[in-house]
C-alpha cells in the first residue's frame, strides 16, 4: 500500500496516540507533553484494584443550576452540525514544540489546532464548522467585541486517565451555561451536543497535547464573540464561535499552603440584575486592580463581598463553601445561593450533589456573612472554607484579612478534611479511576 504524503500526515495525526500507548505498554521512552519516560508515567497513572475503593452511585435528582435546554430564537437561523465539520491539518512547519509538564503554566502554551464556526444572520445563520491550524483572527477594528465587550467563554478540561483514555467532565453543563450566557448577551445560541462532538474531534487531533500525568490536563476554552464591524450598542448580526486548547498544570503551585484572602467591602464584583451569574469577560477585567491590591497586602486572592451585611459571594474566580458546626453539634455545608450574584459553577454543582449523596451532613444554599464567619471562628465552630472551580478544582482557605482583622480558618488542621475528600473524588472521576456518568470518554 502506498500512502501519499498528505494522507500519511493525516494518518499520523489521527493515530499517534495509539503509538504512544503501545510504547508505554512496552516501557519504552517516549517524548510526549510530560517530559517523563514511559515506565515512570505508567507508575504514576496505575490504579491498583481494591475492594474498598469508594464507589459512587447515581447522583440524587437535584434541579440543574440553569436550563439544560434552550429554545433558539426564530431569527437565529440554521444550526451548525458536526457532520459538516471539515479539517485542515497543520503543516509540519506549523507544529509547536510540546513543553515539559514541569514548565506548564496556566494559559501559556497552545496546541497546534483550533475550531472555528462563523455565524452570519444575512447568510442564514450558523456556517459550517472547521478545524484549522492555530492562527490569528482577522477582525475589523469596529468589531463589536472590541468596543462593547460582546463576548463570552467557557472553561473546560480534557484529562488523560490511568487507562490512557481521554475524558471530559460534564461537558453538557458547560454547553447549557454557554447558551444561557449567549442569550443574555444577544449572541446566537447553538446546539450544545454538536459543539461537544466538534471539540472532542479537536482534542483527538491534538491528543498528544493532553499531558500523560494526573498533575496536569488540557484546558479547553470555547469562546463566542460578536464580530459585526459596526459601532453602536446593539446585538451583533455576525459572530464567531471558536475553541482553543492549552496544556495546563496546577492553577496554584504544588505544595502551597491554603489561600490567604483579601476581603475589602468597598469592592463589589456583581449586583442584583447584573450578569454576575454569566461567564462574560466584562466580569473579570475590572477585578484585576483589586487582585493587585490583594497581592500588595500579602494575600493570594480576593474574597468578594456584597451588601451592608458583607455577604460572601466568590473567592477570586471560584465559588466558595463553608463547613461549620451547628449549635447542636451537627456539621453543615453552606454555599451562597444562585441569586444572580455568583456564577453557577459546574464544580459547585458537583460538590453539592456528591455531599447530598453521601448524606453525612446537611447541605444548604444560603447566604452567610463575614460577621457570622467571625462569630463561628471565635466559638471554634468554623471548620473549613474552600474555593471550587474548573481551573483549580478545590482550593483550601486558611486565612482572611478583613477590615484590620486577621481570621484564621482551620481548613487543613483536620485529619481528613472534607475539601480533600471532594478533591480526590472529583479528580478520580475525571481521570477515570471511578466509573461515573459525569465522565465523557472521547473515542
List the chain domain ranges: 82-250, 259-431
What's the pLDDT at 255?
A: 56
Contacts 24+ apart (CB under 8 A), 140-147: 140/227, 140/229, 141/229, 142/229, 142/230, 142/231, 143/225, 143/226, 143/227, 143/228, 143/229, 144/226, 144/227, 144/228, 144/230, 144/236, 145/225, 145/226, 145/227, 145/236, 147/231
d(CA 279, CA 343): 7
Q: What is the pLDDT of residues 179-230, one digit of tens each?
A: 999 999 999 999 999 999 999 999 999 999 999 999 899 999 999 999 999 9
pLDDT of 53 higher than 70? no
What confidence category does residue 257 fall into, taking pLDDT thresholds of 50, 70 and 90? confident
What's the pLDDT at 105?
A: 85
- Report how far apart, in Å, the C-alpha atoms of 266 and of each of 281, 298, 402 are: 22, 18, 11
State mean pLDDT over 265-275: 96
pLDDT of 37 higher than 70? no
d(CA 348, CA 167): 19
What's the pLDDT at 49?
A: 43
d(CA 88, CA 91): 9
Secondary structure (DSSP) of 187-249: -----HHHHHHHHHHHHHHTGGGS-SSTT-EEEEEEEEEE-----SSS--SEEEEEEEEEEE-
Taking Cα atoms as reference points, which of 20, 33, 31, 14 lies closest to residue 203? 14
Q: List the CATH code of the domain at 82-250.
A: 3.30.470.10
Q: Which of 51-60, 185-194, 230-239, 314-323 shows the lowest per-residue confidence on average (mean pLDDT)?
A: 51-60
**Greatest mean pLDDT range, 104-108, 231-235, 248-252:** 231-235
What's the pLDDT at 43?
A: 43
pLDDT of 282 higher than 70? yes
For 295, residues 6+ apart whose C-beta sits below 8 A from its C-beta are: none
CATH superfamily of 259-431: D-amino Acid Aminotransferase, subunit A, domain 2 (3.20.10.10)
Output the nine-digit C-alpha cell for 38.
Answer: 514511559
What's the pLDDT at 12?
A: 47
What's the pLDDT at 46?
A: 44
State mean pLDDT over 318-336: 97
Taking Cα atoms as reference points, which of 67, 154, 169, 166 lies closest to residue 115? 154
Amino acid at each position: 500500500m502506498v500512502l501519499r504524503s498528505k494522507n500519511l500526515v493525516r494518518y499520523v495525526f489521527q493515530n499517534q496516540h495509539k503509538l504512544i500507548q503501545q510504547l508505554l505498554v512496552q516501557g519504552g521512552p517516549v517524548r510526549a507533553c510530560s517530559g517523563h519516560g514511559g515506565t515512570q508515567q505508567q507508575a504514576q497513572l496505575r490504579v491498583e484494584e481494591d475492594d474498598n475503593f469508594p464507589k459512587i452511585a447515581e447522583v440524587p435528582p437535584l434541579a440543574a443550576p440553569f436550563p439544560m435546554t434552550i429554545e433558539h430564537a426564530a431569527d437565529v437561523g440554521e444550526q451548525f452540525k458536526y457532520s459538516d465539520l471539515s479539517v485542515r491539518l497543520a503543516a509540519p512547519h506549523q507544529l509547536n514544540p510540546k513543553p515539559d509538564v514541569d514548565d506548564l503554566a496556566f494559559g501559556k502554551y497552545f496546541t497546534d489546532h483550533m475550531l472555528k464556526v462563523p455565524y452570519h444572520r444575512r447568510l442564514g445563520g450558523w456556517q459550517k464548522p472547521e478545524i484549522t491550524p492555530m492562527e490569528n483572527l482577522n477582525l475589523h477594528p469596529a468589531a463589536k467585541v472590541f468596543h462593547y465587550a460582546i463576548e463570552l467563554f467557557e472553561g473546560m478540561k480534557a484529562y488523560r486517565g490511568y487507562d490512557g483514555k481521554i475524558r471530559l467532565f460534564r461537558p453538557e453543563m458547560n454547553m447549557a451555561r454557554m447558551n444561557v450566557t449567549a442569550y443574555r448577551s444577544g449572541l446566537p445560541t447553538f446546539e450544545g451536543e454538536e459543539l461537544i462532538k466538534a471539540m472532542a474531534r479537536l482534542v483527538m487531533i491534538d491528543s498528544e497535547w493532553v499531558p500523560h500525568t494526573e498533575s496536569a490536563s488540557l484546558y479547553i476554552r470555547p469562546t463566542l464573540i460578536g464580530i459585526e464591524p459596526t459601532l453602536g450598542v446593539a446585538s451583533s448580526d455576525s459572530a464567531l464561535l471558536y475553541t482553543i486548547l492549552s496544556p495546563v498544570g496546577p492553577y496554584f503551585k504544588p505544595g502551597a499552603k491554603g489561600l490567604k484572602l483579601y476581603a475589602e467591602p468597598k469592592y463589589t464584583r456583581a449586583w442584583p440584575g447584573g450578569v454576575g451569574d454569566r461567564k462574560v469577560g466584562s466580569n473579570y477585567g475590572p477585578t484585576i486592580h483589586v487582585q493587585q491590591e490583594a497581592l500588595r497586602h500579602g494575600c493570594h486572592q480576593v474574597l468578594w463581598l456584597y451588601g451592608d451585611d458583607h455577604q460572601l459571594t466568590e473567592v477570586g474566580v471560584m465559588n466558595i463553601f463553608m463547613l461549620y458546626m451547628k449549635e447542636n453539634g451537627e456539621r453543615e455545608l453552606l454555599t451562597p445561593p444562585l441569586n444572580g450574584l455568583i456564577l453557577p459553577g459546574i464544580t459547585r454543582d458537583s460538590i453539592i450533589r456528591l455531599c447530598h449523596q453521601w448524606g453525612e451532613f446537611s447541605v444548604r444554599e444560603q447566604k452567610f456573612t463575614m460577621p457570622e464567619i467571625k462569630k463561628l471562628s471565635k466559638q471554634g465552630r468554623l471548620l473549613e472554607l474552600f474555593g471550587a472551580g474548573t481551573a483549580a478544582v478545590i482550593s483550601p482557605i486558611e486565612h482572611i484579612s478583613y477590615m484590620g482583622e486577621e481570621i484564621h480558618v482551620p481548613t487543613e488542621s483536620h485529619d481528613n478534611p472534607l475539601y480533600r475528600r471532594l478533591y480526590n473524588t472529583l479528580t478520580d472521576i475525571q481521570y477515570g479511576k471511578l466509573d461515573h456518568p459525569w465522565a465523557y470518554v472521547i473515542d
